[in-house]
Amino acid sequence: MTADSRPILWVDADACPKSLKEIIYRASFRLQLQVFIVANSYMQVPPGPLVRSIQVNAGADEADNYIVDEVRPQDIVITADIPLAARVVEKGSVAIDHRGDRYTEENVRERLSIRDFMKDVRDSGIVTSGPPPFGPKDVERFANSLNMLLAKIKP
């Protein structure tokens, strides 16, 4: 596998929990993979050549657009943003959420529909509960999912 064909880990970082970033950094160092942390604000990253912070202009979709413009089919995107995940999957790349669930062509459309429906419900004035709290089991599921994706990569 050439360096150019090795996956890059893209992190939609504005809402990514610190505990997940630490897992991503450890995986990067272990496998010598490039990580791009993309956000609207400055993000501190570990020193060294593997992890790079990319600060984009302020704006709702600036980080998303940057990731979609740069992502390659062999890359992995970590995001809780369903519209971004849909665009990434459409490009043929892999996307996983903060709980370790992989987005697919089938489930991302369903998730978009549910997201849009819930937005309509909230816009009509109905109070909804939102997602369950993010906890240690979610961190564990994310780590396991990322490790399974990365297990196919030769160091």
The burial of 9, by beta-carbon neighbours within 10 Å (0-12 exposed, 13-18 middle, 19 or more buried), is given as buried
The band of 2, judged by pLDDT with boundaries at 50, 70 and 90, is: very low
Lookup: tokens for 34: 């490039």
pLDDT band at 1 (very low <50, low <70, confident <90, very high): very low
pLDDT, residue 153, reads: 75
Query: So what CATH class is 3-104+134-150?
Result: alpha beta
d(Cα 56, Cα 78) in Å, to the nearest integer?
17
The amino acid occupying position 118 is M
pLDDT tens per residue, range 23-50 = 999 999 999 999 999 999 999 999 999 9
| pLDDT digit string, tens, across residues 97-137 | 999 999 998 877 776 666 565 566 667 777 767 677 889 99
